[in-house]
A and B are shown apart, each in its own frame.
Chain A
Amino acid sequence: MSIATIATALFIFAVLALVFAPIMTWVERKQSALMQDRIGANRAEIFGVRALGLLHPLSDALKLFTKEDFVPAGAHRFLHLISPFIAAVPALVSFAVIPYGGTYEAWGSRWSLVVADLDFGILYVLAIGSLATYGSILGGWSSNSNWGMLGALRVSAQMLSYEVAMGISIVGLFMIFGTLRMTDMGVAQQETFRLFGFIEHFGLAAQVPWWLAWIKVPMWGIVLQPLSFFIFTTAAIAENKRAPFDIPEGEAEIVAGYFTEYSGMKFGLFQMGEFVEIAVIGGLVAALFLGGWSIPYVKDTELIQFLSSGLGSNMANILAMVIHVLVFLGKVVMMIFAQMIVRWSSPRFRYDQVMNLGWKIMLPLSIANIVVTGFAVLLLREITT
């Protein structure tokens, strides 16, 4: 591990925890206000400057830090103390394997825009995410409160159920790309394929318009595995315990569920974990299904070559890096916004509905997806060789 790696890791950590999470609370307030025909947060001000309510995250943080840190009687003190950290840390560290750019060479050094380029990349995210369950379960159990306990029970059942569907839904991607390494998946998604190319293999080329053979589609995960995209995104939202999957905290039934007895910054940590996880889900979906950092139809090498003609190799690499990071961020922001729209437009599921959806619909569908993908991969290999 080099200094550069540690620096990148710290940078991402800081961006996620200190920039993304607070801004997302503001975005969510404004976005929900927009959807419900309200104005939304705009009261916090410093010397008359209101900045569209952007100061609200600041005052939130100030409030959370100065509030009394209350521990209920009969609580398991140690577990009550550490469970907010167990809930928040996994969300922060799972960004380590998500690539936010390709590999660039400038002035003799190589930059790969990913903290840890692991061979089992995506499994790391799933493993870390499964540990996050403990934060919520222990938080609810250690509070010595009935609301907390009910929330903890619901959380453990829900997160276990959706972890299964989430893990199995992306197996189809592994089969197509032949790798679990997320940078390799990003590179593989830069390829394009002819959408109606199979027609030639059946000897029907003469009977269809000639231009049909030239329609090209990028090999994005969402194109190759549309079902997997929907299952994965749904399961990820359920893992994050946000509406319509917010039964573990359902405020109409069990007050606030597993974090009922938390106050101050410990409560804030639970919230921060949730908001960072929104960004992580956005990053994961962008990297797995939306082509990662690449611009559709333009490969990394082509972009750098195109820019090199005017700028020289070094500057071209730097510029390509900036473009790619911005493209990736754009995709992440789009997914974040999509999650917020889902959160504010759908009513909460009932507990048994959540369980039915997870075990009886999404799990069989994702297993069927594996079978169909297997046949398709074999068939394509047969007719193309």
Chain B
Amino acid sequence: MTLNPESIVFYVFALGTLVSAVGVLLNIRSTVNAAMCLMLSMVSIAGLFVMLHAEFIGVLQVLVYAGAIVVLFVFVIMLLNLSGPAMAAESHFFAKLLGAAVLLAAAVKLSLLFLGPGEASAEIDRQFGTVAQIGRTLFTDYVVAVEAAGVLLLAGLVAAVVLAKRELD
């Protein structure tokens, strides 16, 4: 474990991500606290992206997840006043099983990474992670996937409008 400034910043963000992610799980009594932990973990992940020279993805992470989606969560939590034991009561066996399986898989993967030989990361060029580079990649190599995702999102939007309309009318 080397301690240059970069690795210190990395550990701060990594710790922030993990601690706040655990905080989301532990704050079952106070839903707003849990949402705030989720927001912190999103921002920390954005910090990790920035450290990997993917600044654009990092900013999008803040803009979309921390800035919009979690705000929506908080809005709904406050609107419906979700808190207290009603939220904590639900606990499914399968959800627990699934969680345990994912945790196990992550642990195995991590230990393999730690035990295996360290690999020197490849040198990246200056264009990596810039808006222009990402745009070019998305609209040449992955254009079908982008368009498919666009259609899917549009369908989701229309469906949401239809569902909301039926409630209102």
Contact = CB atoms under 8 A, between A and B. Distances in A.
Interface stretch (B6-14, B21-29, B53-61): B53-61
A152 B76 CA distance: 12
B39 A120 contact: no
A120 B75 contact: no
A120 B131 contact: yes
A195 interface: no
A149 B81 CA distance: 11
Contact of B79 (A79, A119, A153): A153
A163 B68 contact: yes
A131 B62 CA distance: 8
Contacts of A124: 59
Contacts of B68: 130, 160, 163
Interface string B58-85: 0110110011100110110011000000
Contacts of B66: 130-131
Given A79-B36, A127-B63, A134-B39, A119 B130 contact: yes
A138 B39 CA distance: 12
Contacts of B37: none
The majority secondary structure among interface residues of chain B is helix
B62 A137 contact: no
B62 A156 contact: no
Nearest to A119: B130
A40 B74 CA distance: 41
Contact of B63 (A126, A137, A141, A153): A126
Contact of B67 (A79, A127, A149): A127
Nearest to B61: A127
A174 to B, nearest CB: 9
A167 B62 CA distance: 14
Interface in B106-148: 130-131
A119 B56 contact: yes
B78 A149 contact: yes
Contacts of A255: none
B32 interface: yes
A314 to B, nearest CB: 31
A170 to B, nearest CB: 13
Contacts of B131: 119-120, 179-180
B67 A123 contact: no
Interface residues of B, number: 21
A156 B74 contact: yes
Given A130-B71, A141-B32, A119 B63 contact: no
Nearest to B127: A119
Interface string A133-158: 11001100100000001001100110
B122 to A, nearest CB: 21
Contacts of A157: 75
Contacts of B74: 134, 137, 141, 156
Contacts of A159: 71
A40 B39 CA distance: 43
B63 A123 contact: yes
A129 B68 CA distance: 11
Contacts of A133: 67, 71
A157 B67 CA distance: 13
B56 A120 contact: yes
A93 to B, nearest CB: 12
A127 B71 CA distance: 13
A134 B71 contact: yes
A130 B63 contact: yes
A315 B167 CA distance: 69
Contacts of B75: 137, 153, 156-157, 160
Interface string A146-189: 00010011001101100100010000000000011000000000
A153 B78 contact: yes
A225 to B, nearest CB: 19
A7 B125 CA distance: 30
A138 B43 CA distance: 17
A118 interface: yes
In the complex, the 8 A-B pairs of residues with the closest C-beta atoms, listed nearest first: A130-B67, A127-B63, A127-B62, A156-B75, A123-B59, A127-B59, A119-B130, A120-B56
25 contacts: A76-B32, A79-B32, A79-B36, A119-B56, A120-B56, A123-B59, A123-B60, A126-B67, A127-B63, A130-B62, A130-B67, A130-B71, A134-B36, A137-B71, A137-B74, A137-B75, A141-B32, A141-B74, A153-B75, A153-B79, A160-B72, A163-B67, A163-B68, A167-B63, A180-B131
